[in-house]
Structure 1
Amino acid sequence: MTDDAQPTPGIDPSWVDEVLLAGPADQVALVFEAPVTRAELRRLISAKQSVLAAAGLGRGGSVALCLAPSLAFVTNLLAAWRLGARAALLDHRLTAYEVDNALQRLAPQVVVTAKHVTGGPLRGFVEIEERIATYPGRPADTAHALIQLSSGSTGPSKVIARTAANLVEEVERYVKIGAGVPQGGERIVSLASMVHVLGLVGGLLYGLHAGAQFVVPARMTADGILSTVAAGPEPTTLLGVPFHIELLSSVQTPMKLPQLTGMTTGGELVRAEVYGGFVDRYGIRLGNMYGMTEVGVIATDLFGEHRPSLTPAPGLTVREEAGELLVSLPASPYLGLVDPARWADGWLHTKDAGSVEESTGRMRIHGRRDSQVSVGGLKVDLTEVEHTLAALPGVASAVVTFDKAIEAYVMLRDGATSAQVQERLAERLAGFKRPRVLKVVEQLPRTATGKLVRDRAALLAAAATDAAPAIPAAISAAIPGQRAGQDVTDGATDLVAPAPVKEGNR
């Protein structure tokens, strides 16, 4: 470790060894192309430390990582933290223009990118030869260990910072949740991106702390995911987002997987019909997790016992104020000027409409606060309209927005028509709730984490390709936003060009 840089108060690298890397030397910690034991992982991290230190990174320094899911990503991140540096994570799917803008904004001293990548489309991970370069940036001026640009579908750009203590606290929340969370000796097969909070903390960091193997499938296809589960005898939990459920639900006859004990998803709530189909097909628990990049996991229902309600994670307080959910958070998670509409007086404003049951403390999310609009003096919840539309036969996926009138953007399955959709929707929604404009698109834009984008400009751009063909049912049933021969993944090299990462939380 180098001590050339003036240490930033609060950045203590000891937590990496104490919380993440402790454990038996021969215990398998990670599985990418091959198993990696804890002893091997510690050796690889030490080697990366030397390389990063030679580039000038030391305690109190700052580094930006722009790497695809890989062993290189893991070792560079942990090496940076072990040096006592602050690490900023940039999604590898960003364009060069977006990366350059992010670097100018974050001003790291060192930048790690991919010089050479081995691995084709649909890969869950790749092999990377890194390029480590100095950058005219500055040392960390705060005690934060992690910087993330949240990749939501709405909201302004936000730089989110978390200390090592914040990360350790979240890891401990997973420990305290208990039942439904993978235990030591089990496996986490992660389909979620390690650049984002679910895959990073809920998968990688928690797995290292708990002694659960963190496994990434070689291929992010339904067969590839199930084959990865079948490759080991240990009890296994899948970690992903709703479109992974739809992908796995497309398998006609799933292989028998006695070791598959459950699946946990973050992001949007799984639609009832999708939830039921998955549980019936695989016969396992399907749990939901609600969280934000700013704080990590907030609430869970890991056994589907209280759908659509969730129980706040241990140590967090959630309350309702004027129909909005607020989460207790002692300090602002944002770098730069703090918007009191996002954080104030120890409370994080989620911007989610919701309610909290007084008797149980459980919370329920009703949608975005900005999803409620007035039509002719009558209140309409766009989330209700969107869910109703997406559940119609022939609709693969849908997004509903409002601009003087309710607008809908839909992907259709093979054989379906917009006239059929409008007819069926008339049976289910009152006239004032129904979209006045319905546009059929070939592909709905999504964020890097697979969430549907609700920005009207992006949706209009998608709709500009008029007369888009309907999606074959076998493909669209697998996953929304997919065309024949393509697969959308959260963290893999994509054939589908992702929508620009909009740094918000939804």
Structure 2
Amino acid sequence: MTTGLAATGGAVAGPEWVDEVLLRGADGDVCLHAGGPVDRRALRSMVAERQERLTAAGLRPGGSLALRLPPSLAYVANLLAGWRAGAQVVLLDHRLTPYEVDLALERLAPQVVVAPGRVRSNPLRAFAEVEETVAPHPGRPAATPHAVIQLSSGSTGPSKVIGRTAADLVAEIDRYTRIDGVPLPGERIVVLASMVHVLGLVGALLYGLHAGVQVRPPERLTGDSVLEAVAAEATPATVLGVPFHIGLLASVVDPPALPQLKRMTTGGELVPAATAAAFTGKYRVPLGNMWGMTEVGVIATDLFGEHRPALTPAPGLEVVERGGELLVSRPESPYVGLADPTRWADGWLHTRDAGAVDPSTGLVTVKGRLDSQISVGGLKVDLTEVEATLGGLPGVVAAVVLHDEVVTAYAELAEPATAATVEAGLTERLAAYKRPRRLHVLPAMPRTTTGKLVRDPTVLRRAAREGK
């Protein structure tokens, strides 16, 4: 892929990469669909207008901008405008509380903040209608050459500050172009994953803009609306989301025949085999799987569902197993303000995921978090196995198993499942030493803003108390 991107020399990259990698294309080519088609000419005009507003608010090359808009045309235009202005863009999820936003702004100190003004859509809308506000903020210029700053999902504890340069983003876009099974030019991505986070940001928005793949959110985040978006045009469509979204499609009774539906691809948590089989049986298309991290983007894929649960490393990345942990090649640390050799050292990113690499095929199998291996009475227990068994029981909607003094399970159930039926199922399927000593049934499992199940024991304990 020819990008024309030169080394930034310690400064945030300028407009060239935005123009050449993301905005290039024929004026009339439809690149987005949000309440109607948006062609490249219209998108370039929106970006130019937002860039003028940001400049008027004091944003300069090498400056810093915080963006806390919901997924929307305003979000896309301001993101590209900030990069085109040569600024570092901090992405804050719009679902954060005011308290969390204030902490993030104090921690990251941007010079300009773009926030929601008037929002003219309901919470179920996948792409909001937003009139944004742009305001100076008492911050500082970018201290690093990163084009984007993101906060980790916080599913296992406090968020980490993660930075990625323009060159790093372009390298990930290039990886996508070389993965077998990604949407092709002229096709569509029906995106359910949030564009504030790495899967939706790079896997849908940036890759789609570069490759000439139309990015089309559904009108609403419901199963019926997703299928309506697939059916809206004759071109092939890939649905991109997280495992939570499989439930949306599984909830549709007697879905129509959809020759346009090419596949669904999920990132995030591992998809249980039973869930994958139920989806493919209903829709008769591949359920692809991706493994990635905010720190590096897409790492490995199995977009045809051929090797489940194993995956093929993405082109240009090397994955190795050391001491039971999966490590990914990355030339520099992605962490801002954090020097921790247990997370990154000597060109290797520690994923903190347990796994294995097949020496003959190179296929990678992710076995869950590294801290899922515990000892109970001298016997090894893999909490990932316990969680997968619990999650596979009839009526278990979602589950988390962790070691909190003892093996403890949290589960969200659907009728007619009860705590008693779940415990009976576990007794049948697991040896006594593996079974949870505590089972908490919650009305709804806590999730991060990206839809991942929260694994922080403090949050889960609080949810259990409040659910009683």
TM-score above 0.5: yes
Give the equivalent residue in structure 1 for 2:3. none
Question: Equivalences for 1:89-128 in 2 at 5 Å?
Answer: 89-128=91-130
1:156 Cα deviation after fit: 3.8
Unaligned runs of 5+ in 1: 1-6, 468-506
Question: Equivalences for 1:280-299 in 2 at 5 Å?
Answer: 280-299=281-300
Instruction: Find the aligned partners of 1:10 and 1:146 in 2 and give their Cα distance.
Output: 9
Answering whether residue 175 of structure 2 is matched by residue 173 of structure 1, we say yes
Deviations 1:331-364 (A, max 9, x none): 0101113111110111000000011010011110
For 2:466, give the aligned amino acid: T
> Once structures 1 and 2 are overlaid, which stretch shifts more, 7-16 or 159-168?
7-16
Contact 1:190 1:214 in 2 (8 A): yes
Give the equivalent residue in structure 2 for 1:463. 464
RMSD: 1.1
Partner-residue secondary structure (3-state), 2:362: coil
Question: Equivalences for 1:243-262 in 2 at 5 Å?
Answer: 243-262=244-263
Give the equivalent residue in structure 1 for 2:335. 334
Instruction: Find the aligned partners of 2:270 and 2:445 in 1 and give their Cα distance.
Output: 18
Instruction: Find the aligned partners of 1:40 and 1:425 in 2 and give their Cα distance.
Output: 56
Q: 1:25 aligns with which of 2, 24, 27?
A: 27
Answering whether residue 192 of structure 2 is matched by residue 191 of structure 1, we say yes
Give the equivalent residue in structure 1 for 2:46. 44
1:8 Cα deviation after fit: 6.0
Partner-residue secondary structure (3-state), 2:153: coil
Deviations 1:275-297 (A, max 9, x none): 01111111111100000000000
For 1:400, give the aligned amino acid: V
Instruction: Find the aligned partners of 2:282 and 2:458 in 1 and give their Cα distance.
Output: 38
Give the equivalent residue in structure 1 for 2:5. none
1:438 Cα deviation after fit: 1.1
Instruction: Find the aligned partners of 1:381 and 1:321 in 2 and give their Cα distance.
Output: 18
Answering whether residue 279 of structure 2 is matched by residue 273 of structure 1, we say no
For 2:182, give the aligned amino acid: V
Instruction: Find the aligned partners of 1:371 and 1:156 in 2 and give their Cα distance.
Output: 19
For 1:346, give the aligned amino acid: G
Contact 2:12 2:86 in 1 (8 A): no
Give the equivalent residue in structure 2 for 1:446. 447
Deviations 1:136-163 (A, max 9, x none): 1011122110000011411442100000
* Greater length-normalized contact order (CA 8 Å, ≥ 6 residues apart): 1
1:415 Cα deviation after fit: 2.5
Instruction: Find the aligned partners of 2:241 and 2:393 in 1 and give their Cα distance.
Output: 24
TM-score (norm. length: structure 1): 0.89
Contact 1:60 1:85 in 2 (8 A): yes
Contact 1:325 1:355 in 2 (8 A): yes
Contact 2:72 2:128 in 1 (8 A): yes
Instruction: Find the aligned partners of 1:148 and 1:425 in 2 and give their Cα distance.
Output: 39
Contact 1:440 1:463 in 2 (8 A): yes
1:435 Cα deviation after fit: 0.7
Partner-residue secondary structure (3-state), 1:465: helix
Deviations 1:214-250 (A, max 9, x none): 1111100011111111111111001000011121012
Q: In 2 relative to 1, CA 412–10 (structure 1 residues): closer, same or farther, beyond 3 Å?
A: closer
Contact 2:12 2:88 in 1 (8 A): no
Give the equivalent residue in structure 2 for 1:86. 88
Contact 1:8 1:59 in 2 (8 A): no
Instruction: Find the aligned partners of 1:155 and 1:355 in 2 and give their Cα distance.
Output: 25
Q: In 2 relative to 1, CA 466–122 (structure 1 residues): closer, same or farther, beyond 3 Å?
A: closer
Instruction: Find the aligned partners of 1:155 and 1:74 in 2 and give their Cα distance.
Output: 29
1:26 Cα deviation after fit: 0.4
Deviations 1:413-459 (A, max 9, x none): 21322122111111100000001111111111011111111111111
For 1:261, give the aligned amino acid: K
- State the percentage of identical aligned residues: 63
Instruction: Find the aligned partners of 2:13 and 2:425 in 1 and give their Cα distance.
Output: 58
> Once structures 1 and 2 are overlaid, which stretch shifts more, 146-155 or 77-86?
146-155
Answering whether residue 39 of structure 2 is matched by residue 71 of structure 1, we say no
1:10 Cα deviation after fit: 4.9
Instruction: Find the aligned partners of 2:415 and 2:281 in 1 and give their Cα distance.
Output: 25
Unaligned runs of 5+ in 2: 1-8
Give the equivalent residue in structure 1 for 2:371. 370
Partner-residue secondary structure (3-state), 1:304: coil
For 1:186, give the aligned amino acid: E
Instruction: Find the aligned partners of 2:119 and 2:358 in 1 and give their Cα distance.
Output: 50
Count of paired positions: 460
Instruction: Find the aligned partners of 2:138 and 2:285 in 1 and give their Cα distance.
Output: 51
For 1:286, give the aligned amino acid: L
For 1:418, give the aligned amino acid: A
For 2:117, give the aligned amino acid: K
1:126 Cα deviation after fit: 1.1
For 1:291, give the aligned amino acid: G
Instruction: Find the aligned partners of 2:157 and 2:27 in 1 and give their Cα distance.
Output: 45
Deviations 1:157-213 (A, max 9, x none): 210000000000000000011x31011110011000001000000000000000000
Q: 1:139 aligns with which of 138, 141, 157?
A: 141
